[in-house]
Amino acid sequence: MGNREALVKGAKQCLMEKGYARTTARDIASASGVSLAAIGYHFSSKDALLTEALMQAVQEWDDEFRRDLAVGVRQDLSQRQRFEAIWARLIKSFAKHRPLWAANFEMFSQIDHMPEIRAALGGSLRQAQAGLASLFLNIPEGEIDDETIQTMGALYYTLMTGLMAQHLLDPQNAMTAQRIGEAFSRVASDFVDALPRKRKRNTRS
């Protein structure tokens, strides 16, 4: 393992143990067994290193989560059953990887002061939205068009980050998968009921 990889691995360890804001450059150097000067050599700053480490950790989480779904979510489920099964596994994963999501929110709070972090996260946001659209719509990611990413993908990303915040703040009272399914069902019903009668018949046909 080279120094760059060792620094990223050490930064991941620090993120999980101390969080984003409390991790110092010396913490990372100690955890990685690499000199403090190596951080400046391989990365522009400690924050750039932490951002890279966090993005890699999220990608590793995504890979693990998708493997879990492939094993745990049957293909014969109804659309609503699949919807709730995905949320149930997301919620379970939030609890298992709580330090990861806490570090994410810490990083978000630094964005206005660190434009390089905003730039690094810009591309990953669209990728996350595309992945969520693919996941919930059960369509290969390569077949998801821009409009779907900007609507359904963005909606699911908004819901996921909001749900993360609930589970970080008050997990006992946060929404369950079943409540999310019921809420979506009610919203869909309200939209249909609000349509003009002729369009409503076409929607239900």
pLDDT in tens, 184-199: 999 988 887 776 765 5
Q: Tell me if 103 is assigned to some domain.
A: yes
pLDDT reported for residue 202 = 54
pLDDT reported for residue 14 = 96
201 band by pLDDT with thresholds 50, 70 and 90: low
Q: Structure tokens of 7?
A: 């620094």
Q: Does pLDDT of 106 surpass 90?
A: no
Mean pLDDT of 64-88: 87
Q: Tell me if 52 is assigned to some domain.
A: yes
CB-CB contact of 26 with 7 (8 Å): no
Q: Tell me if 23 is assigned to some domain.
A: no
Q: Tell me if 205 is assigned to some domain.
A: no
Mean pLDDT of 77-83: 89
Residue 26, CA distances (Å) to 22, 37, 144, 145, 153 in order: 11, 10, 43, 44, 39
pLDDT reported for residue 197 = 60
Q: Tell me if 134 is assigned to some domain.
A: yes
Rounded CA separation 53/13 (Å): 9
Q: Tell me if 7 is assigned to some domain.
A: no
At 151, which CATH number?
1.10.357
Q: Tell me if 203 is assigned to some domain.
A: no
Q: What is the pTM of this model?
A: 0.81
Least confident of 14-23, 109-118, 126-135: 109-118
Count CB neighbours of 95 within 10 A.
Answer: 10
Q: What are the b/e assignments for 65-84, b being 16+ CB within 10 Å?
A: beeebeeebeeeeeeeebbb
Rounded CA separation 154/68 (Å): 23
Q: What are the b/e assignments for 112-138, b being 16+ CB within 10 Å?
A: eeeeebeebbeeeeeebbbbbbbbbee
104 band by pLDDT with thresholds 50, 70 and 90: confident
Name the CA radius of gyration of the chain, rounded: 20
Mean pLDDT of 125-130: 89
3-state secondary structure (DSSP) of residue 91: helix
- Structural domain that includes position 126: 46-174
Number of domains in the chain: 1
Our CA angle for 96, 91, 178, nearest 5°, is: 155
Q: Tell me if 195 is assigned to some domain.
A: no
What percent of the chain has a predicted confidence (pLDDT) above 90? Answer: 57
Q: What is the mean pLDDT of the chain?
A: 88
